[in-house]
Amino acid sequence: MPNLSDKDKDEIISLIKEGKTLPKEVIYKLFADDEDVFLFWNGRSEDVTNVVLPFHSIEHVDEPRKHTGEELNLFSTDQRGRQEKGWTNKLIWGDNKLVLSSLVNGPLREEIEKEGGLKLIYNDPPFAVGADFSFQIKLNGDEVTKRPSIIEEIAYRDTWGKGISSYLSMMYERLKLMHDLLADDGSIYLHCDYRVNSVLRLVLDDVFGPDCFLNEITWHYRKWSLPVNFFQRNHDCILFYAARPSNNNRAFNIKEYQPQSEGTLKRWKGKKQRAVFDETGKRLATNEEEESTGSPLSDVWDISIINPAAVERLDYPTQKPEQLLERIITHSTNEGDLVADFFPGSGTTPAVAEKLGRKWIACDIGRFAVHTTRKRLIQVQREMKEQGKPYRAFEVLNLGKYERKYFMGVNLDLTEKEQKKQLEQKQESYLTLILDGYKAKRADGLKMLHGVKAQRFVHVGPLDFPITKATIEEIYVECKEKVITQVDVLGFEFEMGLLPHIEDEMKQRGVNLKLKYIPREVFDKRAVEKGQVKFFDVAYIEVVTKVEKSKVKVRLKDFITSYTQDDLDEIEQNLKSGSNRVVIENGQIIRIEKDKNSRVKREVLTKNWKDWIDYWAVDFDYANKKEIIRVGKGDDAKEVWTGNYIFENEWQSFRTKKNPDIELESAWHEYEKKSRYKIAVKVIDILGQDTTQVIEVNVK
């Protein structure tokens, strides 16, 4: 430390002993022998998450093709026209840090490498403009704002809680994981605006290296704005980097040319055109003698923002135009390459990738973002089917019980038996965590009832498997023995077939029993301490089937939800005279109006249970496809059955901007042989919450 005098050293030791902050000039002296320029911010850490969580495949979506066989030239299909083998695209619901770590270090990486590796990442992360997870729901001419879930708000607070330093920490770790995941001949495009473009350029230089920088693309768009005392901000930046420096194998296809003036074209007439350029911009000779159509595309792109009336517009706050992604994907990948987006929002990247014949991975923490993307991709499949073009199936994945184990501090490198032992040791802390989140007190002297809230007893379901009918029966036995009549049963998952009649059955036997979902945000201490964790009642689906010989169709008969977002009394009290607001309480969407005389009027907007349904799908043979996951690393990885089945989306109906109507009866499904079949029906409501019901039919 040549730049530190004895006095400096004594001062540093004294400050450390006293627990005081070191002055910045002292910190700079400490690192004076390092690089001339070092990127540093408060909270920077070189540690990168390396956890491996197995992915649960919870849904498989594949629009049956009109034709099966070799004409698709991609993969074989079964008799139903559904993809049998080959790469299945991935739509993942979860924290992208955990997802990226699991992709980088887990068994799915092998599958990615077999497909040639990840060739392109496009990311459109948050821009420091406030949490953008809210969305507007249109209902009978009115709009209601669906606020972000607590888990989404927490993700945003983690990103911006300490300003730019926490944002840089969030992006730095994720970019390091992305850099590791990218193929050597891959590329990354990072979309940002004036708020963060300067610092993100430095972070990318730090992670990828300045030699990997290719372009700072200016996306220019026109929009009307209110007059201000500075020039209108009508562009975003897209930072374009190669995965590795000087990799000549990296795809870059010159597909578009800048239009030129008539005079310029005349000067080039008859000369060598369609010139080929290397990645440094040097022009290479060609043998072609073509009339000029323009010069290679520059790094300033004039692409309009999405027209409000456009078919592709989904009213998603951060949605980007498909034309923008078409340009990026077309220029930096070849057909069949793998593309990823770890902040996909409304799903523009996977939608465009599918249309252009690329494979894709998309991951988002927002439940509604995943739902929006699912609907969009089904629509893409349908359009491509009508056009006679090939398309791939996609699966919806999450991290399920393994994510919860990780949150509880279980070592996932251990065997299942050893993990179970660890969970047993953490049982008391687990119960305390859930009961604190539910604002319940611990109950003593009972086996199945762990807590009490007001006059109701509370059962906390297990962390790693569903609540079963056998568990409900044990709860009932204890209730009968102790003369307890009111119980809330909290669970992460509930056994298929348990719903929808179990509450009615228990009521007839003298126990008022309510089933409630434990939310993921219960694992965040801050949310628990602030009382922000909400446990929602399980919604119920009622379906009926019609059987004619070997054919079956399903009809939705009823849907009941008790979802609550707002406090009506509090809103009425704070509402200004002459104004109104649309709120959500106890399964109803209600408009509250306060006139000039402060008289309050309530109007229920959800006139019918059908108003709640945004999407529903049917799997006509639910027990046909077991969910097999790979657990472990490298040679130790093994395939295990989770005990669950994959929901194969065989028929669906959903609302779109163009067609807001929804069918309530499925198409006929014909079975090949006589048997008893389990039919699963999945409903996603207008808030993005999903509910699944399993019924049995006997095909004679």
Q: What is the pLDDT of residues 451-507, one digit of tens each?
A: 999 889 999 999 988 999 999 999 999 999 999 999 999 999 888 767 768 888 999
- For residue 566, the model assigns a pLDDT of 65
Strands 456-460 and 600-604: unpaired
471: closest CA among 480, 481, 483, 462?
462
- For residue 269, the model assigns a pLDDT of 54
d(CA 206, CA 201): 9
Which range is least confidently modeled, 78-82, 127-131, 188-192, 303-307?
A: 127-131
d(CA 73, CA 541): 40
User: Residue 280: which pLDDT band, with cuts at 50, 70 and 90?
Assistant: very low
Q: Could you report the per-residue pLDDT of 30-46, keeping only the tens digit for each?
A: 766 666 667 888 888 88
- For residue 141, the model assigns a pLDDT of 58
**62-98: b or e for each residue (b if 16 or more CB lie within 10 Å)?**
bbbbeebeeebebeebeeebbbeeebbbbbbbbbbbb
**Amino acid occupying residue 519:** P
Segment (H or E) for 326: helix 322-332
pLDDT beyond 80 at 155: no
> What six digits make up the tokens of 123?
């990311």
223: closest CA among 333, 127, 304?
304
Beta bridge partners of 590: 583, 604
pTM (2 d.p.): 0.84
Q: Where are the alpha helices (DSSP H) in 118-149?
A: none
- For residue 151, the model assigns a pLDDT of 45
Q: Could you report the per-residue pLDDT of 161-191, keeping only the tens digit for each?
A: 556 887 888 899 999 999 999 999 999 999 9
d(CA 140, CA 150): 28
pLDDT beyond 90 at 128: no
> What six digits make up the tokens of 353?
């990738």
Give whichever of 143-152, 385-394, 605-614 has the largest mean pLDDT. 385-394
Number of other residues whose CB lies within 10 A of the CB of residue 616: 25
Alpha carbon 568 to its chain's center: 30
Helix (H, G, I), strand (E, B) or coil at 258: strand
User: Residue 567: which pLDDT band, with cuts at 50, 70 and 90?
Assistant: low
d(CA 248, CA 617): 46
pLDDT beyond 90 at 357: yes
Which range is least confidently modeled, 35-39, 331-335, 690-694?
A: 35-39
Q: What is the largest CA-CA distance in the chain?
A: 97
pLDDT beyond 90 at 619: yes
> What six digits make up the tokens of 398?
């999450």
Which range is least confidently modeled, 100-104, 421-425, 635-639?
A: 635-639
Q: What percent of the chain has pLDDT over 90?
A: 42
Average of per-residue pLDDT across 233-238: 91
Give the DSSP per-residue string, 427-466: HHHHHHHHHHHHT-EEPPS-SS--EEETTEEEEEPPSSS-
d(CA 248, CA 69): 37
Alpha carbon 512 to its chain's center: 36
- For residue 591, the model assigns a pLDDT of 80
Q: Is 456 exposed, middle or buried (0-12, 13-18, 19+ CB in 10 A)?
A: middle
377: closest CA among 358, 399, 397, 392?
392
E strand residue ranges, 140-180: 142-146
d(CA 364, CA 342): 6
Give whichever of 238-242, 381-385, 503-507, 559-563 has the largest mean pLDDT. 238-242
pLDDT beyond 50 at 157: no
pLDDT beyond 50 at 131: no
- For residue 525, the model assigns a pLDDT of 80
- For residue 162, the model assigns a pLDDT of 58
d(CA 442, CA 385): 56
Q: Where are the alpha helices (DSSP H) in 32-163?
A: 96-105, 108-114, 150-160
> What six digits make up the tokens of 234?
């009508």
Q: Could you report the per-residue pLDDT of 366-419, keeping only the tens digit for each?
A: 888 899 899 999 999 999 998 989 999 999 999 988 899 999 999 888 888 888
- For residue 35, the model assigns a pLDDT of 62
Residues sharing a CB contact under 8 Å with residue 360, sequence separation 6 or more, in sequence order: 89, 90, 338, 339, 340, 341, 349, 350, 353, 354, 394
Which range is least confidently modeled, 125-134, 232-241, 267-276, 571-580?
A: 267-276
582 secondary structure, DSSP code: E
Q: Is 442 exposed, middle or buried (0-12, 13-18, 19+ CB in 10 A)?
A: middle
Which range is least confidently modeled, 18-32, 205-219, 668-682?
A: 18-32
- For residue 255, the model assigns a pLDDT of 65
Helix (H, G, I), strand (E, B) or coil at 191: strand
